[in-house]
C-alpha cells in the first residue's frame, strides 16, 4: 500500500511540475524513481541497497571507498533515509524553524507491548520515556513496566530506572544506542529481557547477508549462549563470555546490521543484568518465557507422501 501511494505521489508531482526537467521554468532538474527491493532487512544498509539497485545480490560492501566517493555505478552517491530527507529544510535553515512550538524538532515513535494505548505518536525531541509510556501510551498493563526496548532489532533495552532518559539522539547514543526506527516496546513484569534479546538476535541472524564472519558466525554463537542462559544451563562465566563476544561482533562486523545485532544483549547485560543472572545455575527463566529452542524442524523429505524406501 505504501509503495503504491508513493508511486502515485511521484506521478502527481510530475504532472504538477514539481519533478522533471526545468522545474517551474528554471534550469533546475530533479526527478524521483521508486525501486522495490526484495524486502530483506539487509537491503536497507546503504551499500547493500546500492548493490540491489545495480541488480546484484543484497550484500554489504567493504568501505572505503564510501558511497559519497564511489556509489551507484561507481559515481558519488548520497544515501539517506526518507526521514532525513524530509528534515533537510530544518537542517539547511534552522533559524526559520527554531521559533516554533518544538524548536528541537519531533520524532515519530511507535509504541507497542504491555501498554494501554499502543500506536504511533509524534513526540517532541527531549520527551522522557516515562512520559511516553505512562502518559501518551496510558501506562503499563502488566504490573509495573520492567523495561523498554527502543530502536528496533538493533536498538537498546533499558531498565525502568532509565525511563528518565529522553527521546533524542544524544541521550540514547550515550547509552550505546540510537533512535533508529523509533519503535518503543514496553516489557511488563511477566516478560523476560533474555527472551526478547534472543528473539531480536535471531531476527538479525536470519537477515544477515553472510558476507563477514563476525556477523555470519558470531550471531549463531550468541544465540547458542542465549539458549544456555534461557534453559538454566549457563554459569556466571558464560555471561562474561557472552558480553565479550557481543562486543567483538559490534567492533568487527562490516555493516550497521552486524554491528547492532547484539545491542539488545549488551544493553540488557548492562542495565538488566539481574534478569540474566536469575536464569543461571539450573534456575531457568523465572517467567517461563525462555522456551527451549527447537530448530530441528520435521524433515521435509521424510514427511513427503509417496517416499520410496531405499533398498539395502
Confidence (pTM): 0.76
Query: CB of 105 within 8 A of CB of 125?
Result: yes
222: Cβ–Cβ under 8 A, 6 or more apart, which residues? 201, 242, 245, 246, 249, 261, 262, 265
| 193-277 CATH pick, 1.25.40.10, 3.30.70.20, 1.10.10.10, 1.20.1440.230 | 1.20.1440.230
pLDDT tens for each residue of 73-97: 999 998 887 778 877 877 777 665 5
Domain spans, the chain? 106-187, 193-277
Predicted local confidence at residue 177, as pLDDT: 77
- What the block records as the C-alpha cell of 192 is 523476560
- What the block records as the C-alpha cell of 4 is 503504491
Predicted local confidence at residue 114, as pLDDT: 92
CATH topology identical between 106-187 and 193-277: no
- Parts of the chain with a pLDDT under 70: 38-43, 94-104, 291-312
Q: What residue has cell string 515513535?
A: 109
**106-187: CATH class:** alpha beta
pLDDT tens for each residue of 222-244: 999 999 999 989 999 999 999 99
Query: CB of 160 within 8 A of CB of 132?
Result: no
pLDDT tens for each residue of 135-175: 999 999 988 889 999 988 888 999 999 999 998 888 888 88
Amino acid at each position: 500500500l505504501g509503495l503504491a501511494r508513493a508511486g502515485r505521489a511521484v506521478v502527481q508531482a510530475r504532472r504538477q511540475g514539481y519533478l522533471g526537467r526545468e522545474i517551474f521554468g528554471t534550469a533546475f532538474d530533479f526527478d524521483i524513481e521508486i525501486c522495490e527491493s526484495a524486502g530483506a532487512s539487509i537491503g536497507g544498509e546503504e551499500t547493500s541497497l546500492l548493490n540491489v539497485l545495480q541488480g546484484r545480490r543484497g550484500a554489504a560492501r567493504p568501505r572505503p571507498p564510501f558511497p559519497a566517493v564511489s556509489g551507484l555505478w561507481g559515481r558519488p552517491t548520497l544515501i539517506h533515509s526518507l526521514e532525513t530527507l524530509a528534515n533537510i529544510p530544518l537542517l539547511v535553515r534552522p533559524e526559520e524553524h527554531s521559533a516554533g512550538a518544538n524548536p528541537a524538532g519531533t520524532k515519530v515513535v511507535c509504541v507497542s507491548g504491555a501498554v494501554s494505548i499502543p500506536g504511533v505518536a509524534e513526540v517532541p525531541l527531549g520527551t522522557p520515556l516515562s512520559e511516553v509510556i505512562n502518559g501518551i501510551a496510558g501506562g503499563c498493563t502488566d504490573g509495573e513496566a520492567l523495561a523498554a526496548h527502543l530502536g528496533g532489532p538493533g536498538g537498546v533495552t533499558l531498565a525502568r530506572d532509565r525511563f528518565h532518559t529522553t527521546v533524542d539522539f544524544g541521550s540514547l547514543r550515550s547509552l550505546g544506542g540510537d533512535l533508529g526506527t523509533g519503535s518503543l516496546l514496553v516489557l511488563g513484569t511477566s516478560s523476560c529481557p533474555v527472551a526478547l534479546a534472543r528473539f531480536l538476535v535471531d531476527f538479525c541472524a536470519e537477515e544477515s547477508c553472510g558476507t563477514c564472519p563476525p556477523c555470519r558466525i558470531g550471531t549463531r554463537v550468541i544465540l547458542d549462549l542465549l539458549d544456555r542462559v534461557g534453559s538454566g544451563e549457563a554459569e556466571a562465566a558464560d555471561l562474561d563470555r557472552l558480553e565479550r563476544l557481543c562486543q567483538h561482533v559490534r567492533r568487527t562486523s562490516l555493516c550497521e546490521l552486524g554491528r547492532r545485532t547484539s545491542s539488545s544483549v549488551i544493553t540488557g547485560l548492562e542495565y538488566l543484568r539481574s534478569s540474566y543472572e536469575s536464569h543461571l545455575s539450573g534456575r531457568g527463566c523465572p517467567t517461563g518465557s525462555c522456551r527451549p529452542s527447537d530448530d530441528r524442524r520435521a524433515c521435509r523429505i521424510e514427511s513427503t507422501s509417496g517416499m520410496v524406501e531405499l533398498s539395502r
